[in-house]
């Protein structure tokens, strides 16, 4: 199965008062049809910036994509013109944002906001647009879709709004859907429903999905593979089952250990010692070393990506044979 | 929506009622007009007669109600100084003032809108800097000073544009610009800051992610949200326009309400003063009501929350 | 399912505070004008009232017929412009400061009370506020000037009487937002009465807004005062006031340009300084006030 999306050595830098931040520092991964990749990490690890880089909407002028390639069905997105990218966005690569309260424009009706992508991507007009919009709303399980078209965002609940955003995202339908923490702002009971909805849509339309989250539980349930990011780099990537069972990187291990389990004898929550790194003052070498319980002399050098077993790779000297 | 409009209408009427009382009291407070119109050697009897003739000898409360009663039908009495029905004077002058205010407002918005939006979109560049300078100057320059300079140079020395009267379209330009200058400044700033905030929002981000062309993102998605404070202030600015008009009308010899008010006040012409103030306030209240309704049209959240 | 433990983000060395740097120039200009206003009798080279028909319309020192005796020229009655401008600053700044402080005090009080009590009190007060907001300042001042006679006090009162409404509106809006916050409810539970809540809890949180508003309004008031003086309804002559000075020079704008131009320039400088200072204060203290 050829990759729908193939990111190779993507690099995005942000120029700030304190120095240049390597927000995305050589990120590579590939995804096939109907495959879901979970992108996990703390705030500031580069997850969101990676996603924005894929669609080339990094906040200018401070941030710039400085290197790498992003191949969508073989075409390098980084080489496209602005106009071409604009036509690709939404239609071929769609993205859902975190907060449904603020993602929808408060002064336009749901109908108007749904019509826009339909007119842009498919040239539909008039009654056809409304019909299709109602169909899309129905496909995300919104009751009385036709009536909803006339409503305004503030009249809908958070869960419904996020579904509307989802409906707009699959209007293409896209080849790749990027979901940036789409359930973080939703009630727990609704989260499960929404995740189910996303999987269902994925099966139907066969798009690849990148699911950004800091919640390993969601990763376990919805993702096929997972990439763990730290300080702008992917420190471990592989199938979910395998990584959960046998994490290779100390950071991944610490993340998994910090999840409290029922029946565990430990009384205190295990936290990861130390602070997240200041990206402006990164020393050369492994970024996690200052907090790593297993750090040793080689860690002053940046570790290369090494295969633990085929399909499972990590950046850690512990797995590099001397 | 209808409830909303009716409610606001009621509020405006109450405000106007309060104002009418204030106006009534103030007009009376300007002093005795009889001193101005009767000759120096008039006797006590002459004063008494005149007072009776003009209805000034009745108790105040009675005067107030008769004033309100007639005002509602458009009868503002007779100008003590000009000996003509005030309503006639109003009919002559009011359109001129309205036209000038409308011109000033229109021209200002036409300049402020593109300037404000571009300043936000091209933040930090030359356009932005220039716009900010225009804004700050606009709010710091004294109107009448600019007016005098313009009259002297543009109209007097260089003869590019006429200095007074309300005859041609060209004669609107100078007074209109002088009046509207600070509106440009204020509106432009509002738009700029509003746009900056909106351009940063999640829904604008999503619109871009959907693939909407940048132009549409700015002028449709973003602008409609940024309009909300602008519309609110449009009402206030219009009110300020109507009031600053006094000064501008004086300098440019514009036959409008402002001049009428000034003459009325200096000659203690009660009926004129009352009429002018009430008219001005009614206009302002009507504009504000219109603005509020417009506000509800633009922002659906207002419609349903009241 | 739980969430990964996320430790506190490390503090990086603080960059310079967001927003522009302190507007030194504006503060400087204001300081200069305040100083010359206060020290006018000591600083002015001449007497603002002294007339000399022989010295009428002398141009400023940099023009041909100018001299250092009258560095900024003389006016219609031979009075020294520099002196009159210095003395004029007293009027402008005094009116500005007093009107704004008075309006601010009254307006803030009404805003606080309306916001705190809500309901009928709020509705009633807001009707009055709205009615006031729609009343033209200059008109009122004109009327006062004509009835009671033009004077310093009347100008201040006339302006303040209309201006307070602006403060009341804004402060009330703020108070309404504050009232929804928990610390007010807590104060109530602890038994605090209205007075205490208003003065100890609400007022300090609105001070920022007040300061910004006050600063931004001073410029406006100075222009209004000048407009009034220009129309002849402000501070009566012969007291030097920038507005009336401009009016006096109106007829000779092309020949003796300095008589009108220089006082106007003074107004521009002072108002500009206050506006810039107010902007900076607003950006630093309360960015939500952007719209004002």
Give the tens place of pLDDT for each residue, B63-87.
777 777 777 776 777 777 777 787 8
Least confident among A26-40, A267-281, C36-50, C254-268: A267-281
Chains contacting C (3+ CB pairs below 8 angstroms): A, B
What is the mean predicted confidence (pLDDT) over B263-292? 77
Chains contacting B (3+ CB pairs below 8 angstroms): A, C
Where residue C270 falls among pLDDT bands split at 50, 70, 90? very high
Instruction: Using CA coordinates, name the residue in chain B closest to C143.
Output: B265
Cα–Cα distance between C260 and C262 in angstroms, integer? 6
- Nearest-CB residue to A168 (from B201, B202, B210): B210
Contact criterion met (CB below 8 Å) for B81 and B34: no
Q: Specify which residues A228 forms β-bridges with.
A: A40, A236
Least confident among A256-270, C34-48, C216-230: A256-270
Locate A116 and state its tokens. Answer: 């826009």
Q: Are strands A208-213 and A176-180 parallel, antiparallel or unpaired?
A: parallel
Helices within chain B (DSSP H only) = 2-29, 34-37, 44-54, 60-72, 86-121, 126-140, 143-150, 170-199, 202-209, 214-216, 223-251, 257-266, 270-298, 300-305
Contact criterion met (CB below 8 Å) for C28 and A295: no
CA distance B31 to chain A (A): 53
The pLDDT of residue C7 is 31
Of A160-174, A286-300, C149-163, C193-207, which has the strongest mean pLDDT? A160-174
Least confident among A165-179, C218-232, C246-260: C246-260
Chain B residues near residue C262 by CB distance under 8 angstroms: none
* Dihedral sign for Cα atoms in the order B30, B33, B36, B39: negative
Where residue A267 falls among pLDDT bands split at 50, 70, 90? low
Tell me whether C13 touches chain A (CB under 8 Å).
yes
CA distance A258 to chain C (A): 6
- Nearest-CB residue to C227 (from B247, B284, B285): B247
List the 159-188 stretch of A: residues with Cβ below 8 A of B.
Answer: 165, 168
Instruction: Using CA coordinates, name the residue in chain A closest to C16.
Output: A17
Where residue C20 falls among pLDDT bands split at 50, 70, 90? low
Tell me whether B210 touches chain A (CB under 8 Å).
yes
CA angle B259, B262, B266 (to 5 degrees): 140
Where residue B33 falls among pLDDT bands split at 50, 70, 90? low
Tell me whether A188 touches chain C (CB under 8 Å).
no
Contact criterion met (CB below 8 Å) for A38 and A225: yes
Among the listed residues A201, A263, A233, the one whose alpha carbon sits nearest the alpha carbon of residue A36? A201
- Nearest-CB residue to A90 (from B203, B210, B214): B210
CA torsion, ordered C234, C237, C239, C241, to nearest 10 deg: 50
Contact C260/B18, CB-based, under 8 Å?
Answer: no
CA torsion, ordered C233, C234, C238, C240, to nearest 10 deg: -140
Contact C12/A280, CB-based, under 8 Å?
Answer: yes
One DSSP character per residue, A80-98 reads S-HHHHHHHBTTTEEEE-S
Where residue A208 falls among pLDDT bands split at 50, 70, 90? very high
Size of interface B-C (CB pairs under 8 A): 131
Chain A residues near residue C8 by CB distance under 8 angstroms: 275
Contact B301/A91, CB-based, under 8 Å?
Answer: no
CA distance A92 to chain B (A): 10
For the beta sheet containing A208-213, the strands, ordered from the edge strand earlier in sequence to the opposite edge, are: A93-96, A176-180, A208-213, A36-40, A225-230, A233-239, A312-314, A306-309
Locate B71 and state its tokens. Answer: 């005002």
CA distance C26 to chain A (A): 27
Contact criterion met (CB below 8 Å) for A6 and A54: no
Contact A120/B301, CB-based, under 8 Å?
Answer: no
Locate A252 and state its tokens. Answer: 């991944």
CA distance C1 to chain B (A): 28
Contact C5/A277, CB-based, under 8 Å?
Answer: no
- pLDDT of residue B32 exceeding 70, the answer is no
Contact criterion met (CB below 8 Å) for A315 and A305: yes
List the 220-239 stretch of B: residues with Cβ below 8 A of A.
Answer: 221, 224-225
The pLDDT of residue B27 is 65
Tell me whether A86 touches chain B (CB under 8 Å).
yes
One DSSP character per residue, A206-237 reads --EEEEEES-HHHHHHH-SEEEEEETTEEEEE
Least confident among B251-255, C9-13, C44-48, C109-113: C9-13
A90 torsion bin: left (phi>0), alpha (psi -120 to 50), beta (else): left
- pLDDT of residue C211 exceeding 80, the answer is yes
What is the mean predicted confidence (pLDDT) over B56-68? 73
| Residue-range domain boundaries for chain A | 5-228
ipTM of predicted assembly, 2 dp: 0.79
| Omega prior to B104 cis, within 30 of 0 | no
Domain C83-290 adopts which CATH fold? MetI-like fold (1.10.3720)
Domains of chain B: 87-298 (1.10.3720.10)
Cα–Cα distance between A179 and A183 in angstroms, integer? 9
Among the listed residues C164, C192, C161, C175, the one whose alpha carbon sits nearest the alpha carbon of residue C122? C175
Among the listed residues C283, C107, C111, the one whose alpha carbon sits nearest the alpha carbon of residue C212? C283
Chain B residues near residue C33 by CB distance under 8 angstroms: none
Q: What is the pLDDT of residues A117-143, one digit of tens each?
A: 888 888 888 888 989 999 999 988 899
Q: State chain C's mean pLDDT as an integer.
A: 79
Contact B229/C219, CB-based, under 8 Å?
Answer: no
| 3 state SS of A107 | coil
CA distance C71 to chain B (A): 22
CA distance B49 to chain C (A): 24
Locate C210 and state its tokens. Answer: 């007040």
User: For chain B, what's the residue count?
Assistant: 306
Tell me whether C12 touches chain A (CB under 8 Å).
yes
- Nearest-CB residue to A90 (from B202, B209, B300): B209
Locate B196 and state its tokens. Answer: 């900056």
**What beta strand segments (E) does A49-184 contain?**
63-72, 75-76, 93-96, 176-180
Q: Please, what is the end-to-end C-alpha distance for chain C in angstroms?
A: 47
Sequence-ordered list of residues with C-beta below 8 angstroms from that of B254, at least 6 positions apart, any chain: B96, B97, B100, B164, B165, B166, B175, B245, B248
CA distance B189 to chain C (A): 8
Contact B281/C276, CB-based, under 8 Å?
Answer: no
What is the mean predicted confidence (pLDDT) over A23-30? 91
Chain C residues near residue B197 by CB distance under 8 angstroms: 290
What is the mean predicted confidence (pLDDT) over A174-188? 89
Q: What is the pLDDT of residues A32-67, one digit of tens each?
A: 999 999 999 888 888 989 999 999 988 877 888 998
Contact C10/A218, CB-based, under 8 Å?
Answer: no
Contact B281/C140, CB-based, under 8 Å?
Answer: no
CA distance C135 to chain A (A): 33
Contact criterion met (CB below 8 Å) for B139 and C275: yes
Tell me whether B201 touches chain A (CB under 8 Å).
yes
C interface test, pick of B9, B10, B15 with most C CB neighbours within 10 Å: B15
Contact A42/C15, CB-based, under 8 Å?
Answer: no
Q: What is the pLDDT of residues A59-106, one digit of tens each?
A: 877 888 998 999 999 889 999 998 888 888 988 999 999 888 888 888
Domain A5-228 adopts which CATH fold? Rossmann fold (3.40.50)
Among the listed residues A70, A59, A51, the one whose alpha carbon sits nearest the alpha carbon of residue A3? A70
Contact C6/A277, CB-based, under 8 Å?
Answer: no
């Amino acid at each position: 199965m050829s990759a729908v999306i193939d990111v190779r050595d993507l690099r995005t830098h942000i120029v700030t008062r304190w120095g240049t931040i390597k927000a995305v520092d050589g990120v590579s991964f590939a995804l096939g049809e109907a495959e879901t990749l979970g992108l996990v990490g703390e705030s500031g690890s580069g997850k969101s910036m990676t996603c924005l880089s894929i669609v080339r909407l990094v906040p200018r002028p401070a941030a710039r994509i400085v290197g790498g390639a992003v191949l969508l069905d073989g075409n390098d997105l980084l080489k496209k013109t602005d106009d071409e990218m604009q036509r690709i966005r939404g239609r071929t690569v769609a993205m859902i944002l975190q907060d449904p309260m603020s993602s929808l424009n408060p002064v336009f009706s749901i109908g108007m906001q749904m019509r826009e992508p339909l007119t842009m991507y498919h040239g539909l007009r008039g009654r056809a647009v409304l019909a299709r919009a109602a169909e899309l709303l129905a496909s995300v399980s919104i009751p009385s879709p036709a009536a909803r078209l006339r409503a305004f965002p503030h009249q809908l609940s958070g869960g419904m709004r996020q579904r509307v955003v989802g409906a707009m995202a699959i209007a293409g339908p896209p080849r790749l859907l990027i979901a940036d923490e789409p359930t973080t702002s939703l009630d727990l009971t609704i989260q499960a429903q929404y995740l189910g909805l996303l999987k269902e849509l994925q099966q139907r339309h066969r798009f690849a999905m990148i699911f950004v989250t800091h919640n390993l539980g969601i990763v376990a349930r919805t993702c096929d593979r997972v990439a763990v990011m730290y300080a702008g780099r992917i420190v471990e990537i592989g199938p979910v089952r395998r990584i959960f069972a046998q994490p290779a990187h100390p950071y991944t291990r610490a993340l998994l250990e910090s999840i409290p389990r029922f029946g565990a004898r430990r009384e205190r929550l295990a936290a990861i010692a130390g602070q997240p790194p200041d990206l402006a003052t990164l020393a050369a070498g492994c970024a996690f070393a200052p907090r790593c319980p297993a750090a040793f002399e080689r860690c002053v050098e940046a570790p290369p990506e090494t295969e633990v077993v085929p399909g499972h790779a990590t950046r850690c000297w512990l797995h590099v044979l001397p | 929506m209808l409830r909303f409009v009716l409610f606001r209408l009621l509020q405006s009427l109450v405000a106007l009622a309060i104002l009418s009382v204030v106006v009534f009291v103030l007009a009376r407070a300007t002093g005795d007009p009889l001193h101005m119109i009767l000759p120096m050697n008039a006797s006590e009897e002459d004063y008494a007669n005149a007072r009776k003739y003009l209805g000034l000898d009745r108790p105040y409360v009675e005067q107030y109600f008769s004033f309100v009663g007639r005002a509602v039908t458009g009868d503002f009495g007779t100008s003590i100084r000009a000996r003509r029905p005030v309503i006639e004077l109003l009919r002559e002058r009011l359109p001129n003032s309205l036209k000038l205010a409308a011109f000033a407002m229109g021209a200002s918005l036409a300049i402020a809108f593109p300037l404000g939006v571009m300043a936000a979109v091209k933040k930090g560049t030359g356009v932005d800097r220039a716009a900010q300078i225009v804004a700050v100057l606009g709010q710091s320059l004294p109107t009448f000073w600019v007016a005098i300079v313009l009259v002297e140079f543009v109209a007097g020395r260089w003869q590019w544009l006429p200095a007074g009267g309300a005859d041609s379209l060209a004669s609107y330009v100078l007074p209109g610009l002088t009046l509207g200058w600070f509106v440009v400044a204020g509106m432009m700033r509002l738009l700029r800051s509003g746009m900056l905030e909106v351009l940063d929002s999640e829904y604008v981000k999503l619109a871009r992610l959907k693939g909407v062309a940048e132009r549409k993102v700015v002028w449709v998605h973003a602008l409609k949200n940024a309009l909300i404070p602008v519309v609110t202030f449009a009402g206030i600015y219009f009110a300020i326009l109507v009031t600053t008009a006094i000064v501008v009308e004086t300098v440019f010899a514009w036959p409008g309400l402002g001049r009428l008010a000034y003459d009325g006040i200096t000659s203690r012409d009660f009926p004129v003063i009352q009429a002018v103030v009430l008219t001005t306030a009614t206009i302002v209240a009507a504009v504000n009501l219109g603005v509020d309704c417009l506000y509800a049209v633009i922002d659906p959240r207002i419609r349903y929350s009241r | 399912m739980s969430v990964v433990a996320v430790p506190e983000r490390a503090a990086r060395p603080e960059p310079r505070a967001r927003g522009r740097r302190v507007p030194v120039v504006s503060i400087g200009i204001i300081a200069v004008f305040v100083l010359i206003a206060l020290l006018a009798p000591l600083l002015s080279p001449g007497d603002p009232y002294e007339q000399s028909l022989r010295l009428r319309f002398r141009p400023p020192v940099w023009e041909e017929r100018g001299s250092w005796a009258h560095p900024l020229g003389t006016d219609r009655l031979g009075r020294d412009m520099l002196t009159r401008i210095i003395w004029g600053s007293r009027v402008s700044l005094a009116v500005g400061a007093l009107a704004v402080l008075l309006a601010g005090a009254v307006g803030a009080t009404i805003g606080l009370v309306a916001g705190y009590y809500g309901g009928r009190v709020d509705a009633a007060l807001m009707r009055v506020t709205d009615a006031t907001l729609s009343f033209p300042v200059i008109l009122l001042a004109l009327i006062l000037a004509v009835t009671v006679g033009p004077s310093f006090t009347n100008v201040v009162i006339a302006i303040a009487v209309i201006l307070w409404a602006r403060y009341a509106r804004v402060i009330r809006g703020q108070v309404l937002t504050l009232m929804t916050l928990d610390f007010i409810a807590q104060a109530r539970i602890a038994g605090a009465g209205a007075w205490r809540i208003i003065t100890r809890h609400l007022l300090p949180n609105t001070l920022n807004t007040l300061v910004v508003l006050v600063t931004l309004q001073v410029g406006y008031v100075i222009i209004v005062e000048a407009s009034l003086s220009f129309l002849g309804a402000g501070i009566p002559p012969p007291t030097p006031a920038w507005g009336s000075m401009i009016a006096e020079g109106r007829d000779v704008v092309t020949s003796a340009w300095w008589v009108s131009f220089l006082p106007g320039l003074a107004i521009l400088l002072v108002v500009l300084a206050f506006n810039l200072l107010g902007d900076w204060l607003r950006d630093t203290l309360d960015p939500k006030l952007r719209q004002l």
